[in-house]
Amino acid sequence: MKKQNLPVAPQTLQKVPVAFDLSADALNKWESGIRAEIEDDNTISILDPIGIDYLTGEGVTAKRIAAALRQIGNDRDVTVYINSPGGNMFEGFAIYNLLRNHGGKITVKIIGIAASAASIIAMAADELQIARAGFLMIHNCWLHAVGNRHDFRATAETIEPFDLAMSDIYATRSGLDKNVIISMMDNETHIVGNDAVEQGFADSLLPADVVTKQKESDPNSSIKKLDALLAKAQLPRTERRKFIQELKTSMSSAASESTPCAASDVQINVEIGSTAKLSNSLKGILK
């Protein structure tokens, strides 16, 4: 499908009093070590949460993607690799529009998961390929809001058109009836590789040798897994951020107080102390 035949995603200039969050299920299923086997100078990799990741300060933003497209050049074809658990819907819409409006051909390759906002980005392709073990996850906007009943009512009314816009994009891309798409979004649907092709979301399956899996040695991957566990326990994002920051501070302090002459013992003590602190803290949170 030519990407220009897809709907333009809405943009909002209105300040909406919400915080978008990652689905705990998507976070749990996201393997951050999955990478493309080969990348070149016309490749864009979307391998992190969409928007600024509050855990690491990293993330995929429209500003970053716009800069990458400028560097590649508007008339050149672009390959976009995606392995992302989703994130900020507004950033996702903005990135979708950037790719949709690009002059060259956009080939999207889902090498892992394209969930939530990342699944919207994936739709902005002239050609969409997906790994056999990869999957899309589509749902309604996932967010946190604060305020009284009037604020919540206003937030729901503000967000509803964006859910409908997502359903338009999915329906146009797949050819499925819009009511079917709305039902899939209401039920938070995971669509594996073969099904994504059969249902029209993707054009073909990726060859297995396109994808490689790196060892997740980055400490951030462990932090993200802890965040997923806390999210599954229904701990609000603000509390998760506070807890993880306190844990990181505690581990850093323990390491700095150690003497260099007993490095191996220090490491063991730090790990034991940190594990004990984590265990005690989690008992209070997950009880």
Bridge partners, 106 (sequence order)? 78
d(CA 85, CA 49): 6
Percentage of the chain exceeding pLDDT 90: 47
Quick one: which of 112, 99, 126 has its CA closest to 44? 99
If we measure between CA atoms, which residue out of 124, 126, 22, 28 comes closest to residue 77? 126
d(CA 132, CA 128): 13
Q: Which residue has the higher pLDDT, 32 or 196?
A: 196
Measure the N-to-C terminal CA separation of the chain; round to a whole number of Å: 50
20-24, 111-115, 255-259: which range is least confident on average?
255-259
Q: Which amino acid is at 150?
A: H
| Backbone phi and psi for residue 191, each to the nearest 5 degrees, phi listed first | -120, 110
Please say if the pLDDT value at position 13 is more than 60.
no
Q: Which two tokens stand for residue 165?
A: 């816009």
pTM over 0.75, yes/no:
yes
Tokens coding 158 = 């503000």
Residue 42 CB contacts under 8 Å (≥ 6 apart), including other chains: 72, 76, 77, 78, 79
Quick one: average pLDDT of 208-232? 67
Distance CA 45, CA 187 (A): 29
Helices (H), 175-262: 178-186, 193-198, 219-232, 237-256
Which tops the pLDDT comparison, 211 or 266? 211
> pLDDT tens digits for 54-92?
666 678 999 999 999 999 999 999 999 999 999 899 999
Above 80 in pLDDT, residue 222? no
Could you give the CA distance from residue 106 to residue 160 in angstroms, rounded to a whole number?
29
How crowded is residue 138: how many other Cβ atoms within 10 Å of its Cβ? 24
Q: Read off the pLDDT band of 186 (50, 70, 90).
A: very high
Nearest one of 83, 86, 75 to 44, comparing CA atoms: 83
